[in-house]
Chains A and B, each alone.
Chain A
């Protein structure tokens, strides 16, 4: 289990920033490296003001030939299940990758807090990432532990970086 956390601060008011991240992911996608599209495939606005969304992320990263052969294009992406509180202060999320479904566990929370004396917002992103070693059937059993650790380390650093880009792109959209 690889925990990760990162803090991103931008000079935009909390309600505007959080609402942009919740409602305008499709507009944010072009600003994100290797992300080809983000589509809302399900949205439920609840009576208490909270919202439950499922966003489908499609990515098109440059992969080495052998990896490309192993993973088809339709497997490159994930569904992001998110529940937003009515005050937009918290979003609890869970990622469901298309590749190795069930073997990858990735979930966490995003909190938005006022910062810089009300002149901006702090987004605190934290979560955990885990790969089920048993699912790596193509890797020799003796190397699976190391492979899991390597994957968790790489992904554990990639996720916070992409989150930062998402928040910065949202702030950019707000002008």
Chain B
């Protein structure tokens, strides 16, 4: 159900009770007629599903929609003809590190009574339980993700958000709350790290539009720490809209924010008919998360292991209701809380911001290290294709191969180096080609290395998706759209803030008896990391061998610090860097093709799911390791260690003197007086003396 014209109501009244504010806002957006329309539809099951913000960590927290208000809404829905009303949500990633976070117990502890003030029963459902089929299109960001039947079949879908700042997105209102209908515990991994969160929201709303969104801004949560360190403020307001995007837009403006600061945001369709009542004047005394802090949190979130470790440490928790599962987390959380009190604005805020910046730096340092030296530790980056075949004009396909051929012609006159590489700069892009001969027939080579997948075998490929648009009679791909993600190029730019290269391409493939070729052309780069990444690969039969030629025209954006240095002013250095980078690319890509030919897996990194969802939290991993050590170390390991230090030696050394700083000084033994030339290189006597001094020190307290 969606009414034609969007409606928005912002009701503020310091003297009114919250239930009256809700009633006024509902009336102002024509809630009653919307509901009547929804329930009277043919096939309507008469059920309203309300998704409340219910992810707080204390009863009465301003980060959740007030349960009393939600129960009042349930009464209102029954009064307006609902046959049944259920509250729906799912477990979040916090269930990995805190107790009592399952849907039912969390609701109970946060104040839901399962019966309204008017005595009507309502149920709370875990929307993961009946998430079986996926309603999402193949080109959607949520393709293949199942969605709750209860949510899909609801006659009326309502989101009831809390009014709160968010450390990563600036605000967390209706669209943020909406994400809690999606299955999977580790939502940060599934819907933030592995997908574009805005595309996720778009896909979800396209499949299951929300009819009404409320924001409980009676008592709000503001402050720099977002929902992790909530700070209460009375704002005595209810926002209601018949589109969650409209509600979020108003909510963000009331906070004094551009709605676009959130990664979840995408604008509602422009309408001249939006009926608005109430004021968009920002809340008085409101404190937002600073842009620097938002940026730091987003940078930190990119590192799954770090992000999952930090969550339980920074979150303010009523541990009598939601004890932390891991004792180390509990102690660290308690200790950090004393520094991060948001009540003490000056020190708490700055300590929090400083900590977030340190964590962001740590995340980026780890990421840069992995890109340069530990590629197998990098998580694959699932990146669904972000273009539909319907968006491509039929006339575009035949143009691809000729366009690439004419680009390649610009390399004419270049001499290949000893390794078969040649390159030159044209319009700021690098044009290069390279060649390698494999002692295998074309048939065997092409059977082992499907040419339409060649890009996925290239050096530093870390994720993406290809969708076949057309095939020949033999079922071989002839046209496809592909999105590729590569590690920052050159890799060292990761140290300077270089991002992954994310390019969406149109590709055509041709098959002859003695030649196969694929050409690709850039459509766009979602993160603006590339101006061009066009190219072609050719498998040609030469005698009994196969010759592989790769040509590309690449123009990648570099981080500002690299851009600041115009390396073309130093032509020799520039040429050396380019030659080195493309030699490396060519040798590794050809080695990859050889590996694929031999049936080996060449992909770097590991599946994201393996990294995030199925892996225990790092702290739990440490605990498991400690338990293994406990179980596997011999019982007498402490004695063994003691023996090493020889605690009870009768000739325990006696210090010659103890100086004012407490250092003990020993007389050298005869062995140590040996001539310098006789002393072993590693000087074990020095280690001996350190051991003996340590033994003396330990023995003193033994």
Structural contact, A117 and B121, CB atoms closer than 8 A? yes
Binds A, one of B105-113, B134-142, B230-238, B691-699: B105-113
Q: Does B636 sit at the interface, judged by CB under 8 A?
A: yes
User: In whole Å, how far is B91's beta carbon from the nearest beta carbon of chain A?
Assistant: 14
User: In whole Å, how far is A20's beta carbon from the nearest beta carbon of chain B?
Assistant: 18
Structural contact, A116 and B638, CB atoms closer than 8 A? no
CB contact between A62 and one of B114, B630, B634 (< 8 Å): that residue: B630
Q: Does A11 sit at the interface, judged by CB under 8 A?
A: yes
* Residues of the B chain whose Cβ atoms lie less than 8 Å from the Cβ of A6: 99, 320, 323
CB contact between A8 and one of B100, B104, B631, B635 (< 8 Å): that residue: B100
Please give the number of chain A residues whose Cβ is less than 8 angstroms from any Cβ of chain B in the complex: 21
User: In whole Å, how far is B644's beta carbon from the nearest beta carbon of chain A?
Assistant: 15
CB contact between A7 and one of B100, B115, B124, B327 (< 8 Å): that residue: B100
Structural contact, A66 and B323, CB atoms closer than 8 A? no
Structural contact, B109 and A7, CB atoms closer than 8 A? yes
Structural contact, A65 and B109, CB atoms closer than 8 A? no
* Residues of the B chain whose Cβ atoms lie less than 8 Å from the Cβ of A11: 104
Q: How far is the CA of A120 from the CA of B100 in the complex (A)?
A: 13
Interface of A is mostly: mixed
User: In whole Å, how far is A143's beta carbon from the nearest beta carbon of chain B?
Assistant: 10
Q: Does A22 sit at the interface, judged by CB under 8 A?
A: no
**For chain A residues 100-120, which have a beta carbon within 8 Å of chain B?**
115-120
Q: How far is the CA of A47 from the CA of B635 in the complex (A)?
A: 51
**For chain B residues 620-643, which have a beta carbon within 8 Å of chain A?**
630-631, 634-639
**Residue among B104, B123, B636 with the highest chain A CB neighbour number at 10 A:** B104
Q: How far is the CA of A82 from the CA of B109 in the complex (A)?
A: 27
CB contact between B637 and one of A65, A119, A157 (< 8 Å): that residue: A65
Q: Does A64 sit at the interface, judged by CB under 8 A?
A: yes
Structural contact, B639 and A65, CB atoms closer than 8 A? yes
Our count of residue pairs bridging A and B at CB distance below 8 angstroms stands at: 58
Q: Does B330 sit at the interface, judged by CB under 8 A?
A: yes
Structural contact, A9 and B100, CB atoms closer than 8 A? yes
Q: Does B495 sit at the interface, judged by CB under 8 A?
A: no
Q: How far is the CA of A102 from the CA of B230 in the complex (A)?
A: 45
Structural contact, B105 and A164, CB atoms closer than 8 A? no
Structural contact, A157 and B327, CB atoms closer than 8 A? yes
Structural contact, A116 and B104, CB atoms closer than 8 A? yes
Q: Does A160 sit at the interface, judged by CB under 8 A?
A: yes
Q: Does A58 sit at the interface, judged by CB under 8 A?
A: no
**For chain B residues 317-357, which have a beta carbon within 8 Å of chain A?**
320-321, 323, 327, 330
Structural contact, A62 and B631, CB atoms closer than 8 A? yes
Q: How far is the CA of A66 from the CA of B639 in the complex (A)?
A: 8
Structural contact, A64 and B114, CB atoms closer than 8 A? no
* Residues of the A chain whose Cβ atoms lie less than 8 Å from the Cβ of B323: 6, 160
Provided the pairs A9-B109, A64-B635, A65-B636 are in contact, do residues A119 and B104 lie with their beta carbons within 8 angstroms?
yes
Structural contact, A9 and B327, CB atoms closer than 8 A? no
Q: How far is the CA of A62 from the CA of B633 in the complex (A)?
A: 11
Chain B residue at minimal CB-CB distance from A117 = B114
CB contact between B107 and one of A116, A157, A160 (< 8 Å): that residue: A116
* Residues of the B chain whose Cβ atoms lie less than 8 Å from the Cβ of A119: 104, 114
Q: Does A50 sit at the interface, judged by CB under 8 A?
A: no
Q: Does A36 sit at the interface, judged by CB under 8 A?
A: no
* Residues of the A chain whose Cβ atoms lie less than 8 Å from the Cβ of B321: 7
User: In whole Å, how far is A12's beta carbon from the nearest beta carbon of chain B?
Assistant: 11
* Residues of the A chain whose Cβ atoms lie less than 8 Å from the Cβ of B630: 62, 64
Structural contact, A116 and B320, CB atoms closer than 8 A? no
Structural contact, B639 and A122, CB atoms closer than 8 A? no
Chain B residue at minimal CB-CB distance from A140 = B701
User: In whole Å, how far is A14's beta carbon from the nearest beta carbon of chain B?
Assistant: 13
Provided the pairs A117-B113, A157-B330, A164-B99 are in contact, do residues A122 and B108 lie with their beta carbons within 8 angstroms?
yes
User: In whole Å, how far is B702's beta carbon from the nearest beta carbon of chain A?
Assistant: 11
A1-44 interface code vs B (CB 8 A; 1 in, 0 out) = 00001111101000000000000000000000000000000000
* Residues of the A chain whose Cβ atoms lie less than 8 Å from the Cβ of B631: 62
B111-139 interface code vs A (CB 8 A; 1 in, 0 out) = 00111000001011000000000000000
Provided the pairs A62-B631, A117-B113, A117-B115 are in contact, do residues A9 and B639 lie with their beta carbons within 8 angstroms?
no
Structural contact, B104 and A9, CB atoms closer than 8 A? yes
Chain A residue at minimal CB-CB distance from B113 = A117
Chain B residue at minimal CB-CB distance from A157 = B327
User: In whole Å, how far is A112's beta carbon from the nearest beta carbon of chain B?
Assistant: 14
Q: How far is the CA of A6 from the CA of B108 in the complex (A)?
A: 15
* Residues of the A chain whose Cβ atoms lie less than 8 Å from the Cβ of B639: 65-66
* Residues of the B chain whose Cβ atoms lie less than 8 Å from the Cβ of A9: 100, 102, 104-105, 108-109
* Residues of the A chain whose Cβ atoms lie less than 8 Å from the Cβ of B330: 157
Q: How far is the CA of A62 from the CA of B629 in the complex (A)?
A: 11
Q: How far is the CA of A9 from the CA of B635 in the complex (A)?
A: 39
Q: How far is the CA of A116 from the CA of B100 in the complex (A)?
A: 12
User: In whole Å, how far is A19's beta carbon from the nearest beta carbon of chain B?
Assistant: 21
* Residues of the A chain whose Cβ atoms lie less than 8 Å from the Cβ of B123: 117
Q: How far is the CA of A160 from the CA of B321 in the complex (A)?
A: 12
* Residues of the B chain whose Cβ atoms lie less than 8 Å from the Cβ of A115: 105, 108
Q: How far is the CA of A122 from the CA of B104 in the complex (A)?
A: 11
Q: How far is the CA of A118 from the CA of B104 in the complex (A)?
A: 11
Which A residues form the contact surface with B (CB < 8 A)? 5-9, 11, 62, 64-66, 68, 115-120, 122, 157, 160, 164
- 6 additional contacts (CB under 8 A) given A8-B99, A11-B104: A9-B104, A65-B637, A66-B639, A116-B104, A118-B114, A120-B104
* Pairs A–B under 8 Å by Cβ, sample size 13: A7-B320, A9-B100, A9-B109, A64-B630, A65-B638, A66-B638, A68-B635, A117-B124, A118-B114, A119-B104, A157-B327, A160-B323, A164-B99
Which B residues form the contact surface with A (CB < 8 A)? 99-100, 102, 104-105, 107-109, 113-115, 121, 123-124, 320-321, 323, 327, 330, 630-631, 634-639
